[in-house]
Homo-oligomer: A and B are copies of this chain.
Amino acid sequence: MTSSGDGAPLFAVVMAGGAGTRFWPLSRRSRPKQLLPLAGGRSLLAATVERLSPLVTPARTLVVTSEAVRGAVREELPGIPAENVLAEPEGRDTAACIGWVAWRLARTSPSAVMVVLPADHLIPDGAALRSALSAAAATAYARGGLVTLGLRPTRAETGFGYVEVGDAVGTAGAHTVHAVRRFVEKPDLETARRFLESGSFRWNSGMFAWTVAAIEAAIREHLPELASGLDRMAADAESEGEAAALRRHYPSLQRVSVDFGVMEKAAPVWAVGVEFAWSDVGSWGGLAETLPGSPAGVAIGDVAAIDAERSVLVSDGPLVAAVGVRDLVVVATRDAVLVVPRDQVQRVKEVVEALRAAGREELL
């Protein structure tokens, strides 16, 4: 199946532009999280693209990344045509990224349905994801409007955004379809517990589906400044080629997320209910909850763990020998080693800031 089920061509847009520091020292400017081998030996990006097959063909798989890592992304995805790896001159958040692709498809495949996925999530069950994307694409085609995959919460998670949904308005494949009432930012613990109990809240997965026409219309309505920039960029791309147009216009496109700039304001928005195991792999600590592990925790690479418990031990080079450690994260590369208690992993930011302040550019 390579269409939305009604003959409209189905394109996947994999957003691989992220650059964060939460996986330092394994992640660097030249190798962001989505390129790390966190998906059972493969990169998160490669695993994401592989999961799309056979729902979406390589020719219709578009990967948006940054200039800095375009070469690495192409190497990571030998099955994807080189011209399908698109590089932003600089990151302008997800609305600009999605708008760029939508405006391009409006010229080449105006009847297309797009599914949009982050490159750095972990979803072990590829068939379940394809079933959900297929249902979302069919919903986008049949009902119009914008569609989000709404994950059924399995815990009172305070680290994700939520959508509140109404009763099911129908089904798509094996999935229920709901109208989205509202988007909710990350809640506090009590609110998250209430959401979990109520049954009418879903995790906002950051995975979407829509027709090219629907997302273009929504951007024109809710982000007219972004739409104007995309129009100018598209016009110049026609006359002088896309590379020059990108360099001139992309860095000044409106910077806003598609969630805040479009989804929270648009109507109708549909949520397709899904229940597969999913992680946004937010931190070294989170990895332990995601990957199959032993009581020792998670070990990746050349690790010798003796009497370790609930720890995340990662090597990208030197042997990591950990003895008697508890709830500890150790990440070792050729030139840097991070050691931090698992409940403080977010403090890796402080290390990165200290290194930047000290001019240790070679380690960033």
Binding site for B on A (CB under 8 A): 25, 304, 306-307, 315, 317-325, 328, 330, 332-341, 344, 347-348, 350-351, 354-355, 360, 363
B306 and A347 contact, CB distance less than 8 A:
yes
* Max chain B C-beta neighbours (<10 A), residue from A25, A321, A328, A336: A321
A321 and B306 contact, CB distance less than 8 A:
no
B322 and A339 contact, CB distance less than 8 A:
yes
14 CB < 8 A contacts A-B: A304-B354, A306-B347, A306-B354, A318-B318, A318-B337, A320-B339, A321-B355, A323-B338, A323-B347, A323-B351, A324-B347, A325-B340, A325-B341, A330-B339
B319 and A340 contact, CB distance less than 8 A:
no
Oligomeric state, in copies: 2
Known: A340-B323, A347-B306, A363-B319. Is A332-B335 also a contact (CB below 8 A)?
no
B319 and A335 contact, CB distance less than 8 A:
yes
A318 and B340 contact, CB distance less than 8 A:
no
State the CA gap A74–B219 with chains docked (Å): 74
A307: chain B residues within 8 A (beta carbon): 347
B321 and A351 contact, CB distance less than 8 A:
yes
The residue on B at minimum CB distance from A321 is B351
The residue on B at minimum CB distance from A328 is B339
A348 CB to nearest B CB, Å: 7
State the CA gap A321–B344 with chains docked (Å): 13
A333: chain B residues within 8 A (beta carbon): 318
Supplied contacts A321-B338, A332-B332, 16 more A-B pairs, CB within 8 Å? A304-B354, A306-B347, A306-B351, A307-B347, A315-B337, A318-B335, A319-B335, A319-B355, A320-B339, A321-B339, A322-B338, A322-B340, A323-B348, A323-B350, A323-B351, A324-B340
A304: chain B residues within 8 A (beta carbon): 351, 354-355
A36 CB to nearest B CB, Å: 18
B344 and A323 contact, CB distance less than 8 A:
yes
B323 and A336 contact, CB distance less than 8 A:
no
The residue on B at minimum CB distance from A341 is B324
State the CA gap A319–B319 with chains docked (Å): 15
A340: chain B residues within 8 A (beta carbon): 322-325
State the CA gap A307–B344 with chains docked (Å): 11
* Max chain B C-beta neighbours (<10 A), residue from A319, A325, A355: A319
State the CA gap A307–B318 with chains docked (Å): 25
B320 and A337 contact, CB distance less than 8 A:
yes
A351: chain B residues within 8 A (beta carbon): 304, 306, 321, 323
A360: chain B residues within 8 A (beta carbon): 319
State the CA gap A111–B276 with chains docked (Å): 86
A318: chain B residues within 8 A (beta carbon): 318, 332-337
A354 CB to nearest B CB, Å: 6
State the CA gap A318–B318 with chains docked (Å): 10
The residue on B at minimum CB distance from A363 is B319
State the CA gap A339–B338 with chains docked (Å): 11
* Max chain B C-beta neighbours (<10 A), residue from A315, A337, A360: A337
Known: A324-B344, A344-B324, A351-B306. Is A319-B336 also a contact (CB below 8 A)?
yes
A317: chain B residues within 8 A (beta carbon): 335
State the CA gap A333–B335 with chains docked (Å): 9
Selected from B330, B341, B344, the residue in CB contact (under 8 A) with A337 is: B330
The residue on B at minimum CB distance from A339 is B322
Closest 4 CB pairs of A and B: A324-B344, A323-B340, A319-B336, A321-B351
